[in-house]
Structure 1
Amino acid sequence: MSLKEKLKTLWLMVSGILLHLIRGPLRKSWSLKESVLIYYIRNTELSRVDSLVEYRKVRDFRLSTFPKNSKLQEITVPSKYRQQAHEIIKDHLKKTFGDGDWYGEESLWSNSKPLEAEWLIPSHLTLTPKSNVVFYSFGGGHIFGSFSAYRAQLETVAQGCDCIVFGANYRHAPDYSAPCQLEDLLAQVLYLTSPVDEDNPNESGCGIGFDQIVVAGDSAGGNMSASLIHFMRDSNIGKFSGAVLLSPWLDVTSSQFSVLDCDVLDFIPKMGTVTPTKGYTLEAGDK
């Protein structure tokens, strides 16, 4: 952290403390620590950045956590599942809206980086086709975020539920427009649920049943999880055992009363200050 960043952090901390002591907490139940934390996040986490690419790198580095009693296993989703997901979604969109081409050549999966994901496996468990799995999608307004920030938290879930966590990954906006993100999640679902191919391990699925998978996610990840569930239902692909959506961003218009009423209390900055999906909506003409 540079001297400038340290001074900014100190200033925000002092400002947060003074506001709490002079004005009082915005919620009667908030402690000094909670007031300062919310104030700090509102003024740093989603403030203006000069480079989104650099911000993603710095944010991932700062927020990364590591499990204590679990092992991490990185995987790359085989290309055939990405192609299958692309074709399934394209066909569905064409049947539903009359147009299956919702983005340009530059956003095709074949022109993107490899789709990498992560297994978090408790030390006392082994990954097999019989494993129970939490399929987790990270949050971040669709523009940043990664599973690395959730490892420690989800290790607790894995240990408590005696299951294995699959840290799903998806491409960010505005680099990649919808439905690239849905394609990525569906490709990973196909990878998990396709049969094991011992003769071709590099293209093999995991052989895990839909009834062994609980899909979960927070914020934008909750949005993607809900989208995935509904798409799979509408396309008759399969049904998960359950779903856990943590403060999901379901109202992408952010116009409901709960959003406006809690505007000054939320750790996310005031509506209108940050518009992560602006320019990437159907209304704007970018499919």
Structure 2
Amino acid sequence: MTLSRPLLWPLAILLLVFARFTPAAELFYLGQKIPDIQRPWVSADYHQLLLALQKIDTTQVNALPRRSGEFTGPIYTRMVSEDNFKPQLNIYAPLELRQNEARDVLFQLKELMRLYFDFKAAQQPYGAEALGLMTYSMRQQAILFTLTVEFWMTLSEKEQTSQIRLQGLQETKAAAAMLTSSALDYLGLTRQFNREDLVLYSAELAKLLPELFVHLPADVRGQLLARVGELADKHQYSEVRGNMADLLPVLVGIQQDVDAQLARPAPAKPAQPALDLSVPPAASAK
């Protein structure tokens, strides 16, 4: 028996309802297997979900999980759940593995954003979900920075100055700068996103940006300050202007602290005692 296309939605609903009452059951959404939503997700789970949603998106219109969906809402909620960060913050797990996991999850989140955001659409079909994924990605980026700094502190001075380590650090900073720039770009898309969604999004950005700001390259911090100042003065929505106006002095304060730290002279290393090769007095007397 072949199911007709209109019957796929009721089937998906039945499968989701079954999964909600059956812990650790296999979960299928529109014929595609997706990860268990009853537990925290890791990068492999995000990858599995991405592959499933990519297939669904080619055959079904507006079928991606939505934040407010009665039956698809739990899927989206798991996608952006803070619980998913817990394995990365488990101090008993090897630090380098947690850092790599955070990097892999961030990559999968960026691919999911590509799926949810339609660059050609006059009005975003998944506006609230796309913005939610962006703020969640920024949280993930902040955690990656935290783990990167912790890992950096475990390295010897020689390792910290190695070309490979420095290149990896610069790539992390460059990726964060690009993500932050894109996050601010979304605020300008007033025709593509609903006002209510953009206002909520701007409030979330105001909370998240300070944690990322301190890790960005100096030139990027300057550009970010200018953009936030412009949004605080000229954005179309008064609520967004207010959120950016609240954010600006926080970022300025962080920048001043960074400048003060950089202006301090580096602590002098203790001088190594000179090697004394002279003959001890007792030996010379003999």
TM-score range (shorter-chain normalised) is under 0.3
Could you tell me the TM-score, scaled by structure 2's length? 0.26
Give the TM-score taking structure 1 as reference length: 0.26
Larger gyration radius, structure 1 or structure 2: 2
